[in-house]
Structure 1
C-alpha cells in the first residue's frame, strides 16, 4: 500500500464518516444513510458494518424462484407420494427455502381383491412419476424467476398448465378412439361383432332381472371422476410456493394465508379450529354386525389443551376393550372391569393391532348404541360427562353402505333401511344421544330430498356435514354452488390439482353463504403439518385429523397446540364460541313469508331469468347483517326451484 493510503487510514474516524456520507449522497442514496452513519458512530466497527449491510439489503433484488426439485417419498402408510423443494435466489445466492410433502389422493381399499390393489398401486406410481416429470421439467422452467410471494400469478400459471395437459390428454384419447373405430370397421371384425350380439342380449336380460329386485327405484351413484395422472404436482407446487413466500416474509404459514384471504388486512384475532379426534372405528371393515359408524369422534371444548383428556379417554377405552374378545359388548366389559384391565396388561400386542391407519382403535359392535355406551363408560370412569365436557361426532360414510339391488342402506349385517327410514333413525339417535353434535355423510349425495328432510329435522341441533357427498374443490369453485346437497358445511381435503387460491376462494364462499368449513386429512396422510396452518389461516371451524396415534397424525396435533400457544402469547387468540347451529326449518318458514311479501308477485309470476339477479341484489344488500346470511342463502336455494 502506498504511504499516502496509510495516512488516509490513519485519519480521524469522524472525517472518514463525513467523506463516506458525501460520497453516498453524490450517488443519490437517500439522506437517511447519513442519519444511520451518525447513529452508528459510537458503535464498534463490526456493529457498524452489520448495520450498513442490513440497510443496503433493503435495496437488493427480491428473492425469486431459481430451481424446483421433485422427489418420490413415502407417506404414513408406506405408499409413494410427492415431495417438492423450492430453491430461491436470495441476494445473488441460491438457497433452499422450504419443502413440502403432499398427501396422495387415493383412499385405502378395504377388503379389496389382489388385482384391484395391484391396479391401484400401478395407478398411484404412474401418477407420481408423471408429477415428477412435470416438476423437474416443464414446471421448473415455467416458474423460474417468479417471486414466490406472488401466489396469484403462480396459481394462474399452474391452472393454465394443467388445462393444457387435460386438453392434450383428451386429444390423445380422441385419436385412440378413432383408431379403434377404424380397426373395428375392418371386414374381419364385422363377423365378430355380429356373433357377439346374442350374448349382449343375454346380458341385457340378466341386468333386467337384477333391476327387478330393487324394492324402490333410487338414483344411481354418480360416477367417480378419476384423478388426473400427475395432478398432484399442481397442488404440491402451489402449497410449496405459499410456504416459501411465508418463509421469505418471515411469517408463519397460517398468518401468510390469513393475509391472502383478507386482502392483506390481517384480522386482529384468529379462532382455533376444534379438532374432531377419531377414537373408534367400527364400520364396514371391522368385525361385528355394525356397519354404519365408520368413525366415532370426540370434539373437545374450546381449549385445545383438553386434547390430553381425549388421550385419557382413549386409554380408558383400551382398558375396557378385551383384546381377546372381538366385538364384545362394552356393557359386558364394563361390568368385568377388573378382568378386562388384567387382560390388557397381559396382552398389549393384540391391543396395538387394533390401531387403524387413521390412528384410532378398531372394535366390532353389533348395534348402534354399543360404541356410544363405550364412550359414556370411558368418560364416566374419568369423571367426565358427554355433552358438557366433550361432544360426539359420527362419520356415517353412508355412500359405502348402499345395496343397489335392494335400494336400501345396510346399516347392520342383514338390516336394511330406505333413505326415508335413515332420516327417522338419525332423529331417534340424536333424541337419545344429544351429545352428538355432528353427522358426517349421513346419506349419499344423490339423496337430495332426504338431505333436506334431515336438515329440517336436525339442523338446529347438530352439524350435518358433507365429505364424500360434496363435489371436488375445483368443481365447487367453478360452479359457485355448495348446496348440493343441502348441508351445514363441507370437509375440504387438499389433494390433486387443488391450489391455495382455490382454498381461499372456497372458504370465502362458505363464509358468505353461512356454511362451516372443516379441513380433513386423507387416509394416506404424510408427516407434513401444513394442513393445520391452512385450517387456522383460512378460518376453518373444525379440523379432522384422525386419531391420537401414528406419527403423521400426532405431528399435526402438536402443530395445532403450538399455534394456539403462539396466538395466546401474542394476545391474538379469539375465545371460542358456543356451537351455533342453523335452524333450516325456521328459515324455510321465513323464506315463505318473504316470498309472499315480494311486491313483484302481484304483477304475475316472475320469469326464471329475472329471479336470480333480483335475489343476488337482495343478498348483496343484506350481506352486512350476519343474522341474515343463512336466510339469504335459503332464499336463493328455495326460490330457484319455482318455475
Structure 2
C-alpha cells in the first residue's frame, strides 16, 4: 500500500517558447516519479508580482539562468518537505512560503516555490488516481470560452501597436471543440486579409500567436477582425457568435510624470482614454478589456468599470492574482474580474484562494497563460477545476499554445454529457 510520501524532488533548467530558461520540477512519491510541472514566465509583468529568482550572470543566458532557483529546490525546499504526504497541498505550500520568509518570495524565488507546488498537485492527483482538474475540484465541469489572440502588439512583439492583444471570443459556440473550430477559421480569414493588405511577412506572429502586423492605433485592428469574422461566416454582437476583447497593458504606454497615455502618437489623459474606449464599445461588441488603465490607478479602474457597463474589466497588473490587491479592488469596486496567473503569486494554494475570493464578491476569473510558456498544459486543468468559464492561452499555433487547447479537448471528451461550455455566460458560469 502506498504511503503517498514525498521521497525525492528533482529540478532542472529547461527552455520556454522564447528560448529563455525556466524551471521544471519532478516529485517522486514512494520512489516513483508521479508529478512534473514547468514554470511559465511573463514578458509583460506587473510591479506587484512575486519575485522570479534569476542568476544574474551576464555571461550565461544574459543573466536569465535559473540555477539559483534550482539549487533552492533541491536544497532547502526538498529538505523541508521530504516525507510529507503529497496530497497535503495547502500544508506543503504554506511550509514553502514560511521557509522563504519574505512577502514576495524573493529569497527562494517564486519560480522555485511554484514549480514544486504545481508538481506536488500533479503527484497528488496521480496518488488519488484522478485527473488533475477532478483532484482540485470533483465538481469541475465548465469548459471555458477561449479569448483568442488575433493581433499582437506591445511587449509581445515588435510593431507599432501599443495595445498588447486584440481578441475574439467565440461565445456562440456549442462546445469547446466548436469554439476552437470557429476561431481557427476566423484566424485563417484574418491571415488572408493581412496578406492582401500588408504582404506575407505581416503574418509573422508575436509571443502569444497573434499576427504581428504593421497596423496602428486601436481602430484598424477591430476593422480587420470584423472583416475576418464576417468572411468566416459568423455574426458579431452580444447574443451572437462573436464578441471582442483587448488586453491594453496600459501601464506600458503610460508616463507617470506627465500622467498621460501615448497611443498611436497621440497623448490622452485618463478621461480622454476612457472616452476612446467608450467609442470603441459603441462601435463593436466589447466583451472584455484587460488593464485599460495604469496598474496603480484604482480610481481610473473604478471609472472605466462604471463607464463600460456591458464590458468585463479585468485586472491583471492591477491585482496580480493576489488576495490583498484584489481586496482593494473589491472595496472600491475597481474592475469586475481578475486575471488568474499562478506565477504572479507563486503557489497554487494562494492562486486558488484569490479565485475563491473573487467569486465571493461576484468578480469574474479569467485564467491566463504567460508569454513564456512550455508544452505543459496544466492551466487547462485549472480552468476547469475553477469553473471560471474563460481562458486566455493564445492562438492554437505552436506547441506551447496547442498543448493547452488540446488538453481542454481531452477534458471535454472525458466529461462527456456533464461538460458545459460557458458561452454567453463566460463572466458568471458558476
Could you tell me how far apart the structure 2 residues matched to 1:576 and 1:497 are? Answer: 26
How many angstroms does 1:140 deviate by? 1.8
Could you tell me how far apart the structure 1 residues matched to 2:318 and 2:332 are? Answer: 8
Could you tell me how far apart the structure 2 residues matched to 1:68 and 1:466 are? Answer: 35
Secondary structure of 1:377's match? helix
Which residue is equivalent to 1:443? 293
Change (3 A) 1:380 1:106: closer
How many angstroms does 1:107 deviate by? 4.4
Q: Which has the higher strand share?
A: 2
How many angstroms does 1:392 deviate by? 0.7
Could you tell me how far apart the structure 1 residues matched to 2:159 and 2:356 are? Answer: 42
Could you tell me how far apart the structure 1 residues matched to 2:323 and 2:190 are? Answer: 40
2:191 pairs with 311, 315, 318, which one? 318
Secondary structure of 1:526's match? coil
Change (3 A) 1:450 1:157: closer
2:424 pairs with 572, 578, 586, which one? 578
The answer on whether the counterparts of 1:521 and 1:544 sit within 8 Å (CA) in structure 2 is yes
In the alignment of these two chains, the number of paired residues is: 414
Query: What is the RMSD of the two structures over their aligned residues, measured on CA atoms?
Result: 2.9
Which residue is equivalent to 1:355? 205
Equivalent runs, 1:553-592 vs 2, <5 Å = 553-568=401-416, 571-574=417-420, 576=422, 578-579=424-425
Between 1 and 2, higher relative CO (CA 8 Å, sep ≥ 6) is seen in: 2
The answer on whether the counterparts of 1:470 and 1:484 sit within 8 Å (CA) in structure 2 is no
How many angstroms does 1:482 deviate by? 4.5
Which residue is equivalent to 1:384? 234
Change (3 A) 1:162 1:485: farther
Which residue is equivalent to 2:276? 425
Q: Which consecutive unaligned segments of at least 5 residues does structure 1 have? A: 1-59, 109-115, 168-224, 259-265, 327-342, 345-349, 583-625, 627-643
Secondary structure of 2:19's match? coil
2:118 aligned with 1:239: yes
Could you tell me how far apart the structure 2 residues matched to 1:496 and 1:367 are? Answer: 29
1:135 pairs with 73, 89, 95, which one? 73
Which residue is equivalent to 1:337? none
Which residue is equivalent to 1:304? 176
Q: Deviations over 1:42-69 (max 9, x none)?
A: xxxxxxxxxxxxxxxxxx3522111110
Which residue is equivalent to 2:53? none
Q: Deviations over 1:215-270 (max 9, x none)?
A: xxxxxxxxxx8965633111111111111010111100001111xxxxxxx33x62
How many angstroms does 1:276 deviate by? 0.8
Could you tell me how far apart the structure 2 residues matched to 1:514 and 1:487 are? Answer: 11
TM-score (normalizing by structure 1): 0.60
Which residue is equivalent to 1:88? 29
2:342 pairs with 486, 494, 498, which one? 494
Which residue is equivalent to 1:523? 371
Which residue is equivalent to 2:165? 295
Which residue is equivalent to 2:51? none
The answer on whether the counterparts of 1:68 and 1:136 sit within 8 Å (CA) in structure 2 is yes
How many angstroms does 1:574 deviate by? 3.0
2:89 aligned with 1:151: yes
1:69 pairs with 10, 19, 28, which one? 10
Secondary structure of 1:410's match? strand
Which residue is equivalent to 1:467? 316
TM-score (normalizing by structure 2): 0.88
